Amino acid sequence: MIKSHTFHIPVMGIGYTIDTPVKVSHLGISSVISLVDDMLIEKMREFHSRKRNIPFEGISTKIENFRAKRITAYLNMVDDIVNQKFSLLKQSFREKAEDFEKYIASLPNYEHLKTEFKKLKTDSEISRFFDRMRESMKLGSIDVNIMTKLDKENYQDGTKLPIEYNDAHAALRGFAESKLKSSVVLSAGINPALYSYIEQFDDFYPNETGHIKKNIILKVSDYKSALIQGKFLAKKGLWVSEFRVESGLNCGGHAFATEGFLMGPILEDFKQNRENLSKSIFELYAPALDAKKKQIPAQMPNIKITAQGGIGTAQEHDFMMDYYGLDAVGWGSPFLLVPEIIDVDTDTLELLKKAKEDDLYLSNISPLGVPFNNLRGNSEDEIKNLRIASGKPGAVCKKQYLKLNSEYPEATLCMGSNTYQQKKIKELSAENLSKSEYNKKFKAITDRSCLCVGLGTASLLTNDLDTSFEGNGVSVCPGPNLAYFSDEYSLNQMIGHIYGRLNIIKRKDRPNVFLKEIELYISYLKSKISEFGYNIPEKQIKQFQTFKNNLNAGISYYADLFSKYKSKISDDRGSFSKELQKLKTDLEFVSVENPKHKESTTI
């Protein structure tokens, strides 16, 4: 009777969705909590405990296994709160209370239910209607995210602790030992040691009925990656319940660009090979379970395919769902403008509302050395620039989650820290470079920012929590799609927009999600070429040629797709084709050769 939501809210930053499940799970909406920062998690556990009169006992960093224990305690509390709110929501049906009205208005089939309700005449009919609704209600999943490479080693009294105390390992253990029935989203590539560690926890294996309490979701960039990682885990008796395909560049947070492969062709691969994907993984999965004397499911478990990155209209949402057969679509950055469910401070919210295309850019500020989507004028960058201007670049490394650089034998360091940057600047000063070359390298060093603090502070500010340790600097990492959303929205307004009941985008020039991704990839290719100046190594030229060839293939794919599904892809049927041709022409004039080569304008 009640249709499940066809969107989910992905993880955003470290703190923006830290307690989003508390606000949306009882409404049937799935969302994702970051497990990077156990300090923030502990503060949020105390905050929600005090707010709801739940007994609270802090977990000290001096006790063994504190990181995992903090995460387990927080997730258990979130689960309790969500289930209590869900129970109260069901009770509110008879009183038609505010929560009930909000719930009904958020449903995908709201209009149908409203029409059906109006036809009811007697109290008994109305009572049966609500009984059926209660029976079909489902909680939104309380999922968690672990960036697999954020697996810093930890020490006690100068002695390195065993690998299970590494950051990502401890986070996984914290989730595995919680009472949640949900999924862990593993992102940022494969970590064989972490993947192997999952084997130790029974909740990731099917029970006697074939049900898996804790599922694995892999965030992937393409079909090949999904197949490789899915098989790797299947050999260990671990099933991947969902592959979450994310655009390489049209997304928020860290950007992992593909070799010019675009979202459409990637999803086409999944569409054409979905059955083969499941079968080839199950062929390895069943024997592995048998070898471990674990329950083998009577039938092959389902694998969901979802996608996220840059989707911003109901038409795009519906096309992704219908044509590619997706199970759900992720909506991230637009929800940063929904403070009702996202922890975003007032100043950052105002910046986000005013942001245009040029304010949302791919930066080099991440200490991980990976391109990072950034918002100009954010307060953490302002603080960083003040430190540089005062001759004291780099942040004090307080939380140390990104201490992953091992250039110096004495210790791993964060590239955003003052210790690391001072070492690099000292080395730079000894190179005797020209002023322009020195400034270029100096900027590359000092551009790195403190993200493990900045990406969590908004949650503290929003909830009026103490920031004396962290400071008030806020980092934020929206995707380019945010430029086309310019107001503060309620949850029901955003849901209404997703399902096409209203349009909250005022601008008339928003490009289609497919076109925007092509534009971003062409811009990315140009920037990578420009880094080499007039002397591109032969090996790099071949890589750029492959990148360009893949983009051209993607453009041809979209031209063919548009010719078949014009009305479903674009309301303005002529515009899509014209813009696609412009992008194709733009790409043709991108030179991937050194200037001395005569054939430099084309491949």
Cβ proximity of 599 and 591 under 8 Å? no
What is the per-residue burial (b if ≥16 Cβ within 10 Å, else e) of 79-106?
bebbeebbeebbebbeeeeebbeebbbb
Of 319, 336, 353, the last residue of a domain is 336
- The closest of 104, 188, 193 to 149, measured between CA atoms, is 188
Of 288, 314, 336, the last residue of a domain is 336
Cβ proximity of 475 and 13 under 8 Å? yes
Q: What is the mean pLDDT of residues 370-387?
A: 96
Residue 517's domain comprises 511-588
Looking at residue 593, its pLDDT comes to: 84
- pLDDT tens per residue across span 449-490: 999 999 999 999 999 999 999 999 999 999 999 999 999 999
Name the region of 66 (left: φ>0; alpha: ψ -120 to 50; beta: rest).
alpha
- Residue 213 maps to a domain: yes
- Which residue type, as a one-letter code, is found at position 423? K
Q: How far apart are CA 346 and CA 534, in angstroms?
A: 46
Looking at residue 601, its pLDDT comes to: 41
Contact residues for 407 (Cβ-Cβ < 8 A; gap 6+): 413
DSSP string, 268-319: HHHHHHHHHHHHHHHHHHHHHHHHTTPPPPSSPPP-EEEEESS--SHHHHHH
Same domain, 72 and 184: yes
Of 423, 455, 475, the last residue of a domain is 475
Looking at residue 223, its pLDDT comes to: 97
Looking at residue 94, its pLDDT comes to: 67
Residue 307: pLDDT band by 50, 70, 90 thresholds?
Answer: very high
Residue 600: pLDDT band by 50, 70, 90 thresholds?
Answer: very low
Looking at residue 596, its pLDDT comes to: 60
- Residue 195 maps to a domain: yes
Give kind and range of the element (H or E) at residue 54. Answer: none
- Residue 322 maps to a domain: yes
CB hemisphere CA count around 58 (13 angstroms):
8
Q: What is the mean pLDDT of residues 30-39?
A: 98
Same domain, 273 and 129: yes
Q: Is the pTM of this model over 0.85?
A: yes
Q: What is the mean pLDDT of residues 139-148?
A: 97
Looking at residue 188, its pLDDT comes to: 87
- pLDDT tens per residue across span 8-27: 999 999 999 999 999 999 99
Instruction: State the total domains in the chain.
Output: 3
Residues forming beta bridges with residue 481, ordered by sequence position: none
